[in-house]
Amino acid sequence: MTERKPNWDRMTEVGNKFIGIHKTLDLDKDNVNFGIIGVDGEGCGTVACHGGWGAVIFKVPHLVRSPLPYIAGGDAIAEFLGFKDECDYPGRMKDNFASWAAINPDIWGNEHGCHMFTSTGYLAFGFWAGDMDECTLEDIGKHYLEAAERGRKEETNDGAS
Q: Is residue 102 part of a domain?
A: yes
148 within some domain: yes
* 3 part of a folded domain: no
Please report how many Cα atoms fall inside a 13 Å half-sphere around the Cα of residue 19, on the Cβ side. 13
What are residue 39's DSSP bridge partners?
Answer: 42
Does residue 66 lie in a domain region? Answer: yes
Distance CA 44, CA 6 (A): 26
- Model confidence at 140, in pLDDT bands (50, 70, 90)? very high
pTM: 0.83
Which residues form the domain of 79? 10-25+34-155
Does 147 map to a domain?
yes
Backbone angles phi and psi of 38, in degrees to 5? -100, 155
- Mean pLDDT is highest, among 32-41, 115-124, 149-158, for 149-158
Residue 2, domain member (yes or no): no
Task: Let me know if residue 1 belongs to a domain.
Answer: no
**What residues form DSSP beta bridges with 42?**
39
Q: Residue 75: inside a domain, yes or no?
A: yes
Q: What is the pLDDT of residues 70-101, one digit of tens each?
A: 788 889 999 999 997 766 676 788 999 999 99
**Chain segment 92-132, per-residue pLDDT in tens:** 889 999 999 999 999 999 999 999 988 788 899 998 888 87
pLDDT at 33 exceeding the cut of 70: no
Q: How many domains does the chain have?
A: 1
